[in-house]
Amino acid sequence: MKILIFILFLTAVMVFSAMAVSETEDNVKAENAFMQAALDEAYAGITAKHGGPFGSVIVKDGEIVGQGHNRVLINNDPTCHGEIDAIRRTCAALGTYDLSGCELYTTGEPCPMCLFACLWANIDRVYYGCTIEDNSIIGFRDEALDELTGGRDKLSDYLICMDREACLVLFNAYISMEHTSY
């Protein structure tokens, strides 16, 4: 009997968490359609408990050519951040390792690993929602790692913040959900 009650309790928690995410997702939209697609990807990832609230889409010639979200937990891979997942999937879909002519939209400012992966993939520009400082609010240590690389002062034309408010709603939904911290 106790096990049945416990299972019912867990089911209720999962349903209410999914409802909270869905409700938040429906109420706040990004102004940019590509950032909204990145948000949708992030919501799908956190609802499935794949990892943190980071979704990304890659755009070429005004069309989404790839997307991904944080899959650190589901893949047991600390490098499978949203940007890395999107880069891997886009390269596979396009049959190339060179993403020149592409732009990346992501819900959080890329960590140093993802930033350098974007540069290495020849992505033309990165648009992000939440800042490195915002990432620390939800428990990620990007800011400390960023200091090791000397900061981002020289990348102001490459890294562009947009739709921060909509992405902060995503971060708040993630905080309110039961999730694994890593």
d(Cα 25, Cα 40) in Å, to the nearest integer? 8
The answer to whether residue 41 is catalytic is: no
Pick the catalytic residue from 83, 103, 109, 178: 83
DSSP string, 43-91: HHHHHTT-SSS-EEEEEETTEEEEEEE--HHHHT-TT--HHHHHHHHHH
Neighbours of 46 (CB within 10 A): 23
| Residues classed as catalytic | 83
